[in-house]
């Protein structure tokens, strides 16, 4: 019998998740099935019942349920608890455990670029859910981290569990020296608004590297001008790979991950 997995969200549109997970099933010779399930808020409990009852072995969660799902879980991993969001759930005999694999996906980008984070000043732009996973990852790597946002007051309330995080405005950002990494966690630059960039070309020279969580277009306006930079496609694939490692309880090799990354890159950018 096939093990069934799914991505749940309110409106899913086009997603590359099934393609990524199906490649993993093929690689690991797993009899698995991955589907997209659009769920109205009132029906979230039905998904939970399907997990507890064994109809679903595991799920990924996207907007707007990454926080809502947490109240239904028996256990939450340390990184997901501090991030305040869960994007992967496994059912072990009806007992549900939640994780945040966005954290691991972002960490893959840091490793690929071979970036030094410890004791360096890193800047995370945007105060949404994805920023939380990025901050937690950079915190664990020992960075001196700054959240850059238009609404400092609101962010101080929403991010108060990150005790060492500095929260600043875009104006304050201009006055800080010795900048290391800047990460775009905002929708600025995403289709159709592709001319948008949170910082100008001149400002980019102050940083050692730039990472944009947007992966379409392949090279955003934000990424133009950085000598060291990466878009968010590896994070998308990395979080899916980590979810599969949790579900299958086995490691997926770097070679297999790289091969899946190259295939998805080809699929997304048609190159």
Contacting residues for 223 by C-beta, under 8 A, at least 6 apart: 210, 212, 229, 230, 231
Is 271 an annotated catalytic residue?
Answer: no
What are the beta bridge partners of residue 89?
Answer: 59, 98
Residue 248 to residue 32: CA distance in whole angstroms: 10
The 10 Å CB-count burial string (b at 16+, else e) for 143-158 is bbbbbbbeeeeebeeb
Among the options 49, 66, 144, 153, which is catalytic?
66
* DSSP-assigned letters across all residues of 187-211: STT-TT-TT--SS-HHHHTT-SEEE
Residue 240 to residue 146: CA distance in whole angstroms: 27
Residues with a known catalytic role: 66
């Amino acid at each position: 019998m096939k093990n069934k997995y799914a991505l749940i969200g309110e409106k899913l549109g086009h997603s590359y998740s099934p393609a990524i997970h199906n490649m993993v099933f093929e690689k690991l010779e797993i009899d698995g099935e991955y589907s997209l399930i659009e769920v109205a808020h009132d029906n979230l409990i039905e998904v939970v019942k399907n997990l507890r009852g064994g109809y679903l072995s595991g799920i990924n969660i996207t907007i707007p349920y990454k926080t809502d799902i947490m109240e239904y879980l028996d256990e939450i991993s340390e990184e997901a608890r501090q991030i305040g969001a869960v994007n992967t759930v496994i059912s072990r005999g009806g007992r549900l455990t939640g994780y945040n694999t966005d954290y691991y996906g972002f960490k893959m980008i840091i490793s690929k670029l071979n970036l030094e984070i410890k004791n360096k000043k890193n800047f995370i732009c945007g105060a949404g859910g994805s920023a939380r996973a990025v901050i937690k990852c950079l915190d664990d790597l020992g960075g001196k981290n700054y959240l850059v946002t238009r609404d400092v007051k609101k962010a101080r309330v929403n991010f108060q569990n990150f005790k060492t995080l500095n929260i600043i405005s875009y104006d304050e950002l201009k006055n800080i020296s010795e900048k290391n990494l800047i990460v775009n966690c905002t929708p600025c630059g995403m289709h159709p608004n592709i001319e948008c960039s949170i910082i100008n070309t001149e400002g980019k020279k102050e940083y050692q590297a730039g990472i944009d969580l947007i992966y379409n277009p392949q090279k955003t306006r934000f990424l133009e001008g950085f000598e060291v930079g990466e878009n968010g496609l590896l994070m998308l694939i990395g979080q899916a790979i980590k979810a599969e490692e949790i579900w299958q309880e086995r490691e997926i090799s770097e070679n297999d991950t790289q091969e899946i990354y190259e295939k998805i890159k080809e699929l997304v950018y048609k190159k």
